[in-house]
Structure formats: structure tokens, C-alpha cells
Amino acid sequence: MNLSQFQNYTAKDYTKAIQQGNITTLSKAISIIESTAEKHQTLAQEIIEGCLPLSGNSIRVGVTGVPGVGKSTFIEAFGKILTKNNHKVAVLTIDPSSNLVKGSILGDKTRMIELSTDPKAFIRPTPSGDSLGGVAHKTREAIILCETAGFDIIIIETVGVGQNEIAVHSMVDFFLLLSLAGAGDELQGIKRGIIEMADVFVFNKDDNNNSANIRIAKADLERALHLYPAKENGWNPKVLTCSALNKIGIEEVWNLINDYIKITKENGFWDAKRKQQNEIWFEEAIKANLFSLFHNNKEIKNSLSNYKNQIQKQSISPIKASKELIDIFTKNIKSK
Amino acid sequence: MNLSQFQNYTAKDYTKAIQQGNITTLSKAISIIESTAEKHQTLAQEIIEGCLPLSGNSIRVGVTGVPGVGKSTFIEAFGKILTKNNHKVAVLTIDPSSNLVKGSILGDKTRMIELSTDPKAFIRPTPSGDSLGGVAHKTREAIILCETAGFDIIIIETVGVGQNEIAVHSMVDFFLLLSLAGAGDELQGIKRGIIEMADVFVFNKDDNNNSANIRIAKADLERALHLYPAKENGWNPKVLTCSALNKIGIEEVWNLINDYIKITKENGFWDAKRKQQNEIWFEEAIKANLFSLFHNNKEIKNSLSNYKNQIQKQSISPIKASKELIDIFTKNIKSK
């Protein structure tokens, strides 16, 4: 793989190659999007603008669940069914890498062995990086690129149950919560919080020695779901069971997603949701551009390290320093 | 409780009452800090500036662990030992409330019953809210206020293993990871990512029928820890076991934290870490102030809904709209 080919690539070159389904170019373009280097930012925006009209024609599925629930095994089994049915599947994993340990938790080459060698599949860990709405923003842009490359099913995988899931919910069409039976009382509490986000609950590890537990958990959850008000999309969240390891019950998940698509496309919710998500995307893009404007300001660049020194010496409080820096910014900002 | 008393309160009144340990005022002040209303922002900043010189004299402990690990039970048992030893304990829980379900996951009144009625304890859920570095920023400010009110041990509780934990690690002196034995292979992967953050691993639920599992898990983890390079703070992460439910092994955790304090205060790491955290705080404060500047700009206020309409009608892409809005901002920003 010769990466020097990209040295003179324009945004148009990228867009064209991505549209032709060139995976090397797609990977490179996602790296450019993820880059925080200033030189990459204009190129990144141009690539996305170029791909945007070519994107949107996919089913975006969010998959989440607590550690140990078997997300990779599930996605591997699920993805293989899709590629066998001639779909092209992109898996974007949002990776809560530690700031200290450089390297990714989910990025192991050993995960999803079958899917990662499938020519119809593309697996890409997205480091969740620092804050500034980065998670959602960059992943959303990666979705656009994958769709332009012809991937018609995009799976967004997250770990745990927190901020990232809320961000992911704001960019997918369908939200799948992988669950375990009998994983402790507190899990029920978590479910209560994200229950409105989930379109389906799938109890994994429905194996012989666990089957009774799963029946009970499924019945309990179905009872609980009846207590919630009907959702505005006309879809009542379902409860399924599967054994990702034994590849049992996976096809049923795909059938259910197709039911969901049919219903929400008919009642207009599918489009309405995408429009609403565009608004969230707008807010994220504002944040990203605002930070870029601030940190590329010449006077800010000149003052920042001085303030950092003063904070180190404890001669100014972080709050006061930030206020003074904002004043410098407002005084020195120039309209272009 | 008569909240109208606060109507004419100045920042000085707040600071004074907080310093006197008035819990009602402390609660009210934290609400002001958490408020996104413009009218509260100046007051909030003044209260924090007033409290800042009175703060810092506490031990800040982060407690995290996956759902079901028994965090509340542990914090209740741990907190009771501290208050019995005449410490004043504040528990700030970072609450990944759903954006859809208004209401908090961790905010149940039924959690930590003993501790919540203890006059030496203060329990406060902090909604993690939306992005913009809100989690860390607001919690950091709540810590300042609690310290001013005389709480000398601050416990920051988070759920799950993701972004929030990284934020919390950047504001605590000591990071405790509550663990379960045999919770699945993937948990080991997670540990690998946050292993450098944890100062102690505490296996909870060390009860009769689980004891053998815990011995194995503890030995495994201790072996794994040996493979990691020594930490810069001169502290090697330890592994403990406890039964929070039966209040066994909790005192040992507190003793260990005291060992940590002694070592890191002697070798200078305690102070160095706090200074480093101030720098992170600085960055968060910049973000918060920058957003406030942007969204309070008159021209932005006038244009924003127009752009939102255009995005709804799909007559402009979110990316293009955000760029145009940033241009409006730079043209209309005035130095004060």
C-alpha cells in the first residue's frame, strides 16, 4: 500500500476515489477528518462537502451494551448475514481510549476476525479523543464518507452506557441495546435511563445453560416496556434473544430492523428523525468551527503559553485566566 | 426551607454562607453553577471566584465501575466510616441522564439511605447534561464549593467506563476502580485502557460464595499489574477486596488512600498533579466562556433560527451553515 500517492490529492480526487469504493482512500480520508492538524482542516471540510450529496443512502444502526455482553461477537455474526445478502457493511467503533494509554481498547486486530477479512465489510475504530463534541462530530463525518463509498449499512458500536450512547443515538436510524440476563439490579436502573433510546433489546448468550434466566429477563423487560408511553415514531421497542456465538437468532434481528424501516418510512418518522439529527449536527459543527477559530487566532496562540505558565505558578486562577483570554480574543478577532 | 431568601443574595452572601457550612445555600449555589441561564452566569463566576481561595483542602476520590458492581453500596459503607472518623463527606455523582428521559438515573432517593441522612454527609447528583466539556467543568466548580463548605473528603462517582471517567480522573487525587470477579473477557480489555488511571482496584462482593473467584481474579490482576511500567507518582496500583454489603474490607480502602496521600505528598506528586489539573481546568473554562460569548452575541441570536429553518428544509448542509454562522460571528464581535 503506497500512501505517498495521496501527497498531491485534492478534495475532488478523494471524493472521486471514495465514490469508486477505494478503501485505502476512504481510510486515509477518515484519518484526515480525525486529524487535529490545522493543515488538514480545510481539506477535510472540502472532502465532506464533496461527499455529502452522495451520502445518506444507508441504514445506520447503533449497537451498544455493557462490557462483557458480547458486542464484537454479535456484530461479527450480524455483519456476516448482511454481507451474505450482498450488503456492504461499515462498522465504526467509538473507542473510549484512555488519555494516558495511547492506543485503543477496541482496536484489537483479534476482534471480528471473519468480518475484518470480508471484502464487503469495513471496520474502523474511531478514537473518541478529547471532548469538544468530538465523538459525534467526527463519527458523523465518517458515516458520510462510508456511505459515499457505497456502504449501505453502517453499524456504530459503543462501549458502556453513558455520554457516547446519547451522541450515537443522535446519528443512527435504529438503536440496538445488547443485554445480559441477571447482570445485577443496577443494570435495570441504567435501562430506565436509556429505555427510550432503544428500538430493540437483544438478550445475548441465549445458550442452553442460560436459557431459563433469559426467558425470565425477557418477560420482565416486556412487562416493564408496557408501562412506558408509546413512542412518537409509532414503534414499540421489542425484546429479542440470541446467541451470537452460535449464530442463533441473528437473522431475526435483521428482520426486525426491516420492519422498523418499513413502519417509520411509511409514517414519515424516518425522514423527520434524519432532519432532527441534522440540527444536532449543525450544533456540533458550530462548536468545532468555533474552537478552530479561537485556537488559530494569532494573539491567542501568543498568549496561551504565558497564561499556562502563570497557572502553573498559581499566580492566576484558571477561571480568571480564561476570562482574560476571551477578552484578548474579542479584541483581536478580525473579520475576513 | 424558604428559597426566596436567596432573591437578593449577592455573590459575597453566598460565599459567606457556604463558608459557614450552610447546606441549603451550598445546594442553591451548585444549582446556579449548573444553570445555563444567562442571568446566572456572572453570579456563578463570582461565587466560584469567592470560594476559590477557601478551597483545595480536601481529598478528592474518584469512584467508578461498571453498572452492577455495587458503587452506591460501597460509597455508603465507605462514607459512613469517614463520617464516624469525624470527616465531612460530599458525594458528587455524575449522572448520565438520558437526553430523552428527563430525570436522573443515579438520583434515586433510595440510594445511600444511611449516608443521605447523615448530617456530616452531602450527596448531590450532577447531571452530565450536554457536551461542551460540561461534565468536568461544572463538577470541578461543585468541588470548590463543597470544599469551601468544609467537606474534607469529596467522592466523585461515575457510571460506566468512558469519557466521564477520563474527565473525573482529571479532577481527583485518587482514582478507585470497583471491580467484579469473572465479569467477562471484555472487561479485561477495558481494564487495559484505564489501568493507568486506577490507583486501586477493589473487587467488591467478596462474599462466601464468591470468594474463590475473587482470589483468582485478584491474583490475575496483580500479575498483570506487574507487567506495567512503574507510575511516575511512585505509587504502584494495589488490589483489594471487600464486601460493601457486609461492610467488610472498607476500612482497608481508607487506610490505603492514606498511604497514597503520605507517599505522594512526600515525593511532590500530590501538588504536581493538582497543578496539572488546573491546566486542564483552564482549557475547560475557555471552552465554556467561548460558547457563552458566541451564543450571547446579538447577531448570532438573530441568525441562528433562520439557519435552523434552512437546515430543516434541507436547503443548506449543517457544515456550510455552521461556516456561515462563524463568519457572522467574526464580523459582529465587538471588543468591550
Three cell numbers, residue B297:
452575541
User: Helices A250-266 and A269-295 sit at what angle, rounded to 10 degrees?
Assistant: 90
CB of A116 closer than 8 Å to CB of A123: yes
Query: What confidence score (pLDDT) does residue A134 get?
Result: 52
- CB–CB contact A99 B48 (8 Å): no
Whether ipTM exceeds 0.85: no
| Right CATH for A1-54 from 1.10.287.1400, 1.20.5.170, 1.10.357.10, 2.30.130.10 | 1.20.5.170
The mean of the pLDDT values for chain B is 84
Which residues, including other chains, have CB under 8 Å from residue B99's CB and lie 6 or more apart?
A: A166, A169, B130
pLDDT digits (tens, 9 = 90+) for A163-200: 567 778 889 999 999 988 865 443 444 445 566 788 99
The whole-number pLDDT of residue A109 equals 44
Query: What tens digit of pLDDT does each residue of B85-112 get?
Result: 999 999 998 865 433 333 444 444 457 8
Cell of B158: 461515575
B282 and A308 in contact by Cβ < 8 A? yes
Answer yes or no: do B67 and A97 touch at CB < 8 A.
Answer: no
B316: closest CA of chain A, how far (Å)? 10
Nearest by CB to B330, from A52, A323, A336: name it. A336
Start-end ranges of CATH 1.20.5.170 in chain A?
1-54
Helix (H) or strand (E) holding A273: helix A269-295
Neighbours of A297 (CB within 10 A): 18
Contact (Cβ atoms closer than 8 angstroms) between residue B180 and residue B68: yes
Q: Contact, B80 vs B174, CB < 8 A?
A: no
Distance (Å) from the alpha carbon of A3 to chain B's nearest alpha carbon = 28
Return the higher-pLDDT residue of B34 and B334: B34
Of the partner residues A48, A282, A284, the one whose CB lies closest to the CB of residue B311? A282
A160 contacts: CB under 8 Å, gap ≥ 6: A64, A66, A67, A96, B66, B160, B161, B162
- Chain A residues touching residue B101 (CB < 8 angstroms): 192-193, 195-196
Contact, A293 vs B331, CB < 8 A?
A: no
Contacts of A336 in chain B (CB under 8 A): 327, 330
Closest Cβ–Cβ partner in A105, A289, A318 for B189: A105
Exposure on the CB side of residue B126, measured as CA atoms within 13 A: 29
CA distance A20 to chain B (A): 23
- The reply to whether residue A135 touches residue B163, judged by beta carbons under 8 angstroms, is yes
Comparing CB atoms, the residue among B187, B275, B314 nearest residue A68 is B187
- State the DSSP code for A97: -
CA distance A233 to A139: 24
Full-prediction pTM beyond 0.95?
no
What CA–CA distance (Å, rounded) separates A278 from A272?
10
CA distance A110 to chain B (A): 12
> Packing angle between helix B134-148 and helix B269-295, nearest 10 degrees?
120
Yes or no, beta carbons of B318 and A185 under 8 Å apart: no
Q: How far apart are CA B140 and CA B278, in angstroms?
A: 10
C-alpha cell at B248: 467488610
Task: Give the span between the Cα atoms of B114 and A211, in whole angstroms.
Answer: 38
- Residue A62, H or E segment: strand A59-64
As a whole number of angstroms, the distance between CA B125 and CA B40 comes to: 20
Cβ-Cβ contacts under 8 Å, A135 against chain B: 163
Residues in B closer than 8 angstroms to A231, CB to CB, are none
CB A271 within 8 A of CB A259: no
Residue % of chain A over a pLDDT of 70: 84
What is the chain B residue with the closest CA to A136? B131
Handedness of CA A5, A7, A12, A14 (dihedral sign): positive
> Rounded to whole angstroms, how far apart are CA atoms A239 and A227?
15
Contact A173, A59 (CB under 8 A): yes
CA B183, distance to chain mean position in Å, is: 25
| Pick among A290, A292, A307, A309 to test the B interface (most B CBs inside 10 A) | A290
On chain A, the residues whose CB falls within 8 A of the CB of B144 are none
**Residue B171 pLDDT greater than 80, yes or no:** yes
B contacts of A195 (beta carbons < 8 Å)? 101
pLDDT of residue B254: 98
What residues contact A46, with CB distance under 8 A and at least 6 apart?
A: A11
Q: Provide the number of CB pairs (under 8 Å) joining chain A to chain B.
A: 251
Task: Measure the CA–CA gap between A281 and A273, rounded to whole angstroms.
Answer: 12
The answer for residues whose C-beta is within 8 angstroms of residue A154's C-beta and 6 or more apart is A58, A59, A60, A61, A89, A90, A92, A143, A146, A147, A172
Q: Which residues in chain B have their CB less than 8 angstroms from residue A282's CB?
A: 307-308, 311, 318, 321-322
- Considering only CA atoms, which of A15, A55, A238, A244 is closest in space to residue A140? A55
d(CA B121, CA A43): 53
As to burial, measured by CB atoms within 10 angstroms (0-12 exposed, 13-18 middle, 19+ buried), residue A238 is middle
* B67/A161 Cβ within 8 A: yes
Cα A276 to its chain centre, rounded Å, is: 17
Under 8 Å between Cβ of A135 and A288: no
Rounded Cα distance, B216 and A266, in Å: 55
A-chain CB neighbours of B70 within 8 Å are: 186
Q: What is the pLDDT of residues B276-312, one digit of tens each?
A: 899 888 988 898 889 888 988 899 999 999 999 998 8
Residues of A in contact with B286 (CB under 8 A): 294, 322, 325-326
- Least CA distance to B205: which residue of chain A? A184
Burial B247-269 (b: 16+ CB within 10 A, else e): eebbeebeebbeebeeebeeeeb
Mapping DSSP to helix (H, G, I), strand (E, B) and coil, where does residue A202 land?
strand
What pLDDT score does A173 carry? 96
Interface test with B, best of A102, A278, A310, A324 (most B CBs within 10 A): A278
3-state secondary structure at position A125: strand
Output the pLDDT for position A226.
78
Task: Using DSSP, state whether A36 is helix, strand or coil.
Answer: coil
**Nearest to residue B150, comparing CAs of B230, B234, B86?**
B86
Local structure of A149: helix, strand or coil: coil
Disruptive mutation site among B41, B73, B100 for chain A (greatest number of A CBs within 10 Å):
B100
CA distance B2 to chain A (A): 31
Minimal CA separation from A330 to chain B, in Å: 5
Which among B101, B167, B290 has the least Cβ separation from residue A326? B290
Residue A77 has what pLDDT? Answer: 97
CATH architecture of B56-267: 3-Layer(aba) Sandwich (3.40)
Low-confidence ranges of chain A (pLDDT < 50): 1, 97-109, 130-133, 161, 184-191, 335-336
Among the partner-chain residues B133, B312, B319, the one whose CB lies closest to the CB of A49 is B319
Of B192, B317, B323, which to mutate for an interface test with A (greatest number of A Cβ within 10 Å)? Answer: B317
C-alpha cell at B136: 468536568
Amino acid found at B11: A
Q: From the CA of B275, how many Å to the nearest CA of chain A?
A: 6
* Nearest residue to A263 (alpha-carbon basis) of A178, A173, A198: A173
Interval B196-212 mean pLDDT: 87
CB-CB neighbors (< 8 A) of B326 in chain A: 286, 289-290, 293
* Chain A residues near residue B196 by CB distance under 8 angstroms: 98, 100-101
Indicate where chain A has its CATH 3.40.50.300 domain(s).
56-266
Name the one residue in this structure whose C-alpha cell is 439511605: B113
- Tell me how far apart the alpha carbons of residues B108 and A19 are, in angstroms, rounded to a whole number: 50
| Superfamily (CATH H level) for A56-266 | P-loop containing nucleotide triphosphate hydrolases (3.40.50.300)
Judged by DSSP in three states, A212 sits in: helix
Give how far A195 is from chain B: nearest CA, Å.
8
* Chain region(s) in chain B for CATH 3.40.50.300: 56-267
- Cα A217 → chain centroid: 28
Q: What residues of chain A lie within 8 A of the CB of B159, using their CB?
A: 161-162, 190
Task: For residues A213 and A182, give the distance between their C-alpha atoms in angstroms, rounded to a whole number.
Answer: 7
Mapped to the 3 state alphabet, what secondary structure does chain B carry?
CCHHHHCCCCHHHHHHHHHCCCHHHHHHHHHHHHCCCHHHHHHHHHHHHHHHHHCCCCEEEEEECCCCCCHHHHHHHHHHHHHHCCCCEEEEEEECCCCCCCCCCCCCCCCCHHHHCCCCEEEEEEECCCCCCHHHHHHHHHHHHHHHCCCCEEEEECCCCCHHHHHHHCCCCEEEEEECCCCCHHHHHHHHHHCCCCCEEEECCCCHHHHHHHHHHHHHHHHHHHCCCCCCCCCCCEEEECECCCCECHHHHHHHHHHHHHHHHHCCHHHHHHHHHHHHHHHHHHHHHHHHHHHCCHHHHHHHHHHHHHHHCCCCCHHHHHHHHHHHHHHHCCCC
